[in-house]
Amino acid sequence: MRSSKHRASENNRRSISGQMYTLHQRLYHALNLGTSRFYDDNTRKWQSMDIEIQRHVVRSIAAFLDSISGDTIHHPLVKDSVSDMVGALVGILQYRNGSMLNIAANVVEKLVNILPNSIVQPYVLDLVYPLSKSLSLNQGNIAISCVIALNLVLLNLNSKSEKAIWEILKETKTVAHIVSNIQDTSGGMVPSEHFQEMASLLSTILWRWPPSRYPVWTDAKLMKTLEAIFARPDLSVKVAVLKLYSALALCGSGAKNLIDNGEAFLQITVQCMGRSHPYSVQVEGFRLAQCLVRNEENCLKLLNLFGEPVVNAIVSEMCKQNSLSGKAANDQVSLLKEACRLALITRWAGKHHIYFWKQGIDRVLLGLLLEDFHDNLYQHFLSLEELMSIAHKVLSSNYLLVLRGYIWDILGWLATHCGEDFNPNTHGNELHLNILITCSCLVFVDVIRKWCQICQNDVVDAFKSEPASRAVLMMIFSPCKYIASRARLTLFEILKPNGKEYLKHVLHTLSYTASGSNLGMPNVLKIVINLIGLTCYSGLPQYQRNVIKGEGIKTLLVLVKWCLENDVHIGRLSFAPHLHNTFHERCCCWVSTEDWEGKDIPLLYSLWVLAELMHNSGSARNILDIFAGEMAYTEAELVSKLQEICINTSTPGLRWFAAYVLSYFGAYGFPSKIGKRIGKGLNEKEYVDMHLILTNGDSLSVHGVVLAVQCPSLLPSKELYLDENTFDGSSVRDFTRKSFGEVRKEIRLSAHVDHQALLKLLEYVYWGYLQAGEELVKKLKTLAKRCNVQPLLQLLSRKSPKWGTPFPYSDLSLALGPAGLPFSDIILEAKATELMCWTCSFCSLSVPHMHVHKVILWSSCDYMQALFQSGMQDSHSQTIKVPVSWEALVKLVDWFYSNKLPNPPSGCLWDNMDTKEKLCELHPYVELCWLAEFWLLEDVKEACSHVIGSCLDSARHLSIKIIQIAANFSLWKLAEIAASYMAPSYRQLCDSGELEALDEMLVDMVRAASVRLSQEGGSNSR
């Protein structure tokens, strides 16, 4: 088996010890006892069926590996021997002899531990297959050795081999075998140490390969097993289970399943974060909790059950900084970091904020900033000079710098979600809070100063300082009167010496940066920091006039235009490195992880400060004067852009601030697509069923269903509900007539209701927004307050939106179902099928149908308008047969009432469906595409095509089915979409014969798409 590459030169021999050279010689003597054959794939494999030869070879490999030291690890003799050692080990592992598997697997573990990762990587595929294949052996001791070795190999795997390794793991059914072994462990058939190794390997696989998670968290028997094991007192077992749960919770669906079905599991998880447990248990407990609360919905579910214990665990751990010493210091800092990461749950509003203040979070944060902090060292009241002296001491130290980003973020979130009348001395401490405010303001001013004289070395420091700057912004605009006033006063005093100079530089930097095209990270960070600075300046009364005189509004308008035209989408993760978590980088199925501020930070801050400057500019006339000269936008253009943001953007914060700016142009509310449709009902007065009577006798015609959902306070309460006991089984036509007789069609209003104000309120109710002058706004505010229309009242009062507030949008779907029956006057009937034929509990129709409202259909669909005008308008209740399935009808009605189509399952739920199930999910969207062509519903057609296309992108094998269905419906554009997804595989489809099932016309369509794809590729390469 020796070759020229294995014959070390005399010089190489001199560079290693004689013992090592001897062991190398013995290794090759042993290897030569086997045979080496070439196979069809041109690979050479070592073979020997003699157990004694195998044992001799394994021992020789182990002895040679033991002789390798740090000085010789990269020696050519070692590098040239790896291929032959691995080949022999693979051959022995594939033989699957029970007595040899343990020994060979242990030597694989030694090889991976001793040799550099770069040397081992080329042989990973060779090692993984036999190791994973061995897990199917029903012999615990054998399997566990292979588990340990396989886990070590996978932990050292580079990303280039991931896809190939996953195919091997699927082929060998590795996950299924591990799960089986874990279930054997629960019955006491194997030691708990074996469970730990099995769980560790499964955790590694679940973390690295998201597709492996679904079959694990949906295995009810396994989850019951894990729950039972988790309850055991063995701490080492708890660590293994916590890691396994964390890997499962990287899947959003898996995390939801854990939270929804495991209160006992949640209780133990919270207990594991407590001080009574050792470091290893605590750190894994905190990591699991972080995985579970990656979105607001899951977080609030957990906190509703265990809010106070979770906060207690976090704060208790953050208090341990005074004991940082000795060898355990690194572990303690790591645990502190995990606790601080979990404390970022403060970014969401809730009762947990009260728990944090009760636990003295202000004192705890100060303790993480200031080494050896003790309350008795400071007076309760200190002057600003004394506070700044303490702050300088804090900021000049290097104490726990790794936690600074988290500390500032937590402080900012606490300020953001504080109550208006919060008193720091009730739960916290005024002195502690004042020191924290002073420290953050000092950091903020320092970073503004550095950007004025920026050099490359300061960029890194600016990255570190962004959280402190952001905390100042959050405190200045905090709803808490104390925090906001204290932060403004402190910042103003610190800015006194050079504040105006810094402001000029901030304005100049923003204007200059927006005029360029370089979007590199230093420039992005520069924009963000300076926007934060300008927003803070706009919150200081002493500087507001200076900002406006310095053409701050025009600068912001230029910046808004720059963000929109350059499609600038930058989230905070881009410049807040402390928020990066490598463990979470492989998450899946988290549908809603976007924060309120979203991924348009520069635009959001630009609109925020623009609104503040407009608020401070005085009268509406002053604002309009700004648009008189040459500038980025005319008033009409800006208003149009802001309305587009409200309608087409998904980020709540950005939409709120766009609506906030619009209020300064006399446009109040929240523009939306469904508002544009439903608003036609107010203007055209079609199918009204109610009249609002004012005291002067004037009457306004309205639709009960719209008022019941959008402004129920305008209706007497008894009109809003039905008593189900009143139903007597009569037909829906008779019931509707009866119910309409009970609902008052005329509602007399109070003398306090102003006619003009009511008209405008109804405009808001239907359209989602309104136009009004300052005089009318005063009357409208009174009416909006009485009607409890809080979002509108906030804009009429021009109050800055509270961080985290959901963006209001028109959704009339609440009117569907029993609650909508008093106002419903149309039945939509789907195609009856054997599987979908039922009787509505409110009527005698035994076909799939829905009770809907004529005004909604009339507003949403031109086809319906024509249908009603042809003779259907004379009856209160009529049936329209819709030629689609029940599933398609439900989606269509959802769109009518909310302008949204329900999405099919996504992520691992979708990936683990078979082809038939996926087709069943997509078929209703194809039906709606077909129906939308006849009913002229272009938005529905476009939305359905988008849904189908996104599903085909993740499951291209469906394309051949979808193109057939689309052709059957004569949906040629949809067929072309399916063809484009088939184009890359055209040759393979031809060779496999799959295209034979298609008509020649469809095959030509796929061929043409393939040709276009190849031509585009050639053009791009040129």
CATH of the domain at 781: 3.30.710.10
Using alpha carbons, list the distances in angstroms from residue 438 to 361, 395, 431. 16, 11, 11
838 domain residue, yes or no: no
Using alpha carbons, list the distances in angstroms from residue 979 to 945, 962, 983. 13, 9, 6
Give residue 319's pLDDT: 86
SS3 call for 868 = helix
365 domain residue, yes or no: no
Give residue 16's pLDDT: 75
Give residue 896's pLDDT: 94
Whether 705 and 556 share a structural domain: no
892 domain residue, yes or no: no
Task: Specify the number of domains making up the chain.
Answer: 4
Per-10-residue mean pLDDT for the chain, 1022 residues long? Answer: 46 70 92 73 75 94 92 88 93 86 93 93 93 81 86 92 94 94 70 88 96 95 92 91 97 94 91 93 96 93 95 92 60 92 96 95 91 65 84 82 93 95 83 92 89 57 78 96 95 94 91 67 77 94 89 86 84 87 88 76 93 76 59 81 92 94 93 90 84 89 90 72 38 40 71 91 94 92 93 93 89 76 80 61 71 90 85 62 93 94 91 92 95 93 94 84 93 94 90 88 93 73 38
Whether 448 and 584 share a structural domain: yes
Contact 355, 346 (CB under 8 A): no
Give residue 200's pLDDT: 96
652 domain residue, yes or no: yes
Give residue 724's pLDDT: 37
Domain boundary among 616, 648, 669: 669
Taking the CB of residue 228, how many other CB atoms lie within 10 A of it? 10
Q: What is the pTM of this model?
A: 0.90
- What's the CA angle centered on 478, arms 475 and 480, to 5 degrees? 115
Looking at the chain, the number of H-run helices and the number of E-run strands are 51, 10
Whether 651 and 765 share a structural domain: no
Contact 387, 442 (CB under 8 A): no
Maximum C-alpha span of the chain: 114
Alpha-carbon distance of 71 to 901, in angstroms, equals: 65
Q: Give the pairing type, strands 690-693 and 746-748.
A: parallel
Token code pair at residue 140: 């615990």
546 domain residue, yes or no: yes
Cross-strand partners of 747: 692
391 domain residue, yes or no: no
Token code pair at residue 938: 């272009």
Whether 635 and 736 share a structural domain: no
Sign of CA dihedral 708, 712, 716, 720: positive
Whether 654 and 752 share a structural domain: no
Domain boundary among 743, 774, 804: 804
Contact 339, 289 (CB under 8 A): no
Q: Which amino acid is at 205?
A: I
458 domain residue, yes or no: yes
Give residue 489's pLDDT: 95
Q: Which domain does 907 fall in, by range?
A: 901-1022
Closest CA to 713 of 776, 652, 793, 646: 793
Closest CA to 1013 of 981, 966, 975, 972: 981
Whether 484 and 621 share a structural domain: yes
**Where does residue 597 rank: exposed (0-12), middle (13-18), buried (19+ CB within 10 A)?**
buried
Domain boundary among 151, 172, 193: 172
Whether 65 and 9 share a structural domain: yes
Sign of CA dihedral 458, 464, 469, 472: negative
Q: Give percent helix, percent strand, percent coil of the chain, each to the nearest 5.
A: 70, 5, 25
Whether 740 and 660 share a structural domain: no
DSSP string, 762-805: HHHHHHSEEE--HHHHHHHHHHHHHTT-HHHHHHHTTPPPPTTP
Alpha-carbon distance of 893 to 901, in angstroms, equals: 9
Whether 537 and 648 share a structural domain: yes
Whether 682 and 564 share a structural domain: no
Whether 679 and 599 share a structural domain: no
Alpha-carbon distance of 623 to 521, in angstroms, equals: 34
942 domain residue, yes or no: yes
Token code pair at residue 256: 């939801």
Contact 848, 836 (CB under 8 A): yes
DSSP designation for 745? S
Whether 635 and 680 share a structural domain: no
Q: Can you say whether residue 700 is alpha, beta or left, with left for phi > 0 and alpha for psi between -120 and 50 degrees?
A: beta
